Amino acid sequence: MIKINSAEILCVGTEILIGDIINTNAAYISKKFAELGINQYYQGVVGDNPARLERKINEALERCDLLVMTGGLGPTYDDLTKEVAAKCMNRGLTLHEPSLAKMKSFFAGRNIKMSENNVKQAYMPDGAIVFENNHGTAPGCAIEDSEHGKIIIMLPGPPNELVPMVDNSVVPYLTQFSECIFYSKNINIVGMGESTVESYLSDMMRNAENPTIAPYCKEGEVRLRVTAKVKTREEGEILCNATIEKIRATEVGAYIYGIDTDLETALINILRMYDKKIAAAESCTGGLISKRITDVSGASDVFDGSVVSYANDVKNKLLNVKPETLAQFGAVSEQTAAEMAEGVRKLMNADYGVSATGIAGPGGGTPEKPVGLVYIACASENGTVMRKLNLRGSREHIRHLTANYALSLAIERIRK
């Protein structure tokens, strides 16, 4: 059997090189490599040029045992991945009748006439293992060269075709070459910076062997990836869970909002758990908090609505923010944030009201209230808690961080 010591990814397409599309395929395949315990040291992108493509394939095969290629399997003249890869592996191309039949069925089911150049997609390298495409017309395939210990896998470029093909065909195919897997869980943390997290866990991180612990900084939050090298997922689950419980027992534990989740999903889950509802009152975030909540399927169970109160008049008339509060403290103040949260809670008859008001920039700041000054609040029958934030970055970044902190504050209050 071929032994895979290392793998590479080569994405084909001039549109990637010139920035017309973002290459999400490589990231997805890389994650699957990591899960399968397959080492990867290089990635590449090459345009639709047969000479350059041939050179990049041969260079990659000098370094790795497995080369996964994406793109260039279409019906047009510049889709040459199969032809060039077959040449590099000393294979011819033969019409694969099952793929042709599936392709004809694909077009017939959509009442579209199949053009003759589509037949090109049904030609496969001799001896290839064919991967069905249930979401498009271009099948994928694997070419094995046992003599030289090499494998080339070719996949369609569109992510909606590639992702299910990787999950349903490529991963099961590659499992036979893997002696172990890497099983990971992600600990989601908000309210504590990456350096602080690391300071509390530095000894644990340095001494960890299996599982390992690695920190990653996201926008406004920290992710700890706990990874175990194991033979089965069940073994990985046990090892990772034991490490997660050790981390929960440290100072970091109070800032963990979930495992393998995001803030909005964690909020929805905890509201469901306690059979509670929440409403939002937003100023500087302009509806972003509400959008993130409603991005989660089933949010209607716990979220009835929100008010985007950009203007002071709306804050007063809809949310019952007192005119004297606005006059004395201003729209960007903890007092206004508190009254917004309390007002939307009463307006929507919710258990919790969360609010945000601030200066996202780039204009509008003053020496007393600079860009990035934000106040958030969360109101319940047990009272209202306010937080002052001093944020930095672009307008988009400040709004994103504000939504993060508002969602986090809501989770914190519901837990208590």
Q: For residue range 242-280, list pLDDT tens digits in order.
A: 999 999 999 999 999 999 999 999 999 999 999 999 999
Residues 314, 338: Cα–Cα separation, whole Å? 15
Find where tokens 């309390």 sit.
Answer: 342
- pLDDT of 1 reads 77
Model confidence over 139-185: pLDDT tens digits?
999 999 999 999 999 999 999 999 999 999 999 999 988 888 889 99
- pLDDT of 291 reads 98
Q: Spell 169-179 as b/e; 16+ CB within 10 A means b.
A: bbeeebeebbe
- pLDDT of 355 reads 98
Task: Please list the rounded mean pLDDT of every run of 10 residues in the chain (416 residues).
Answer: 93 94 95 90 95 97 97 89 97 95 90 90 96 94 96 97 97 89 92 91 95 86 94 94 98 94 96 97 98 97 97 97 98 98 98 98 95 98 97 95 94 88
Within 8 A by CB and 6+ apart from 309, the residues are 281, 282, 283, 315, 318, 319, 321, 340
Q: What is the pTM of this model?
A: 0.74
Find where tokens 């809809």 sit.
Answer: 318
CB atoms within 10 A of CB 71: 27
- pLDDT of 198 reads 94
- pLDDT of 139 reads 96
Residues 60, 44: Cα–Cα separation, whole Å? 9
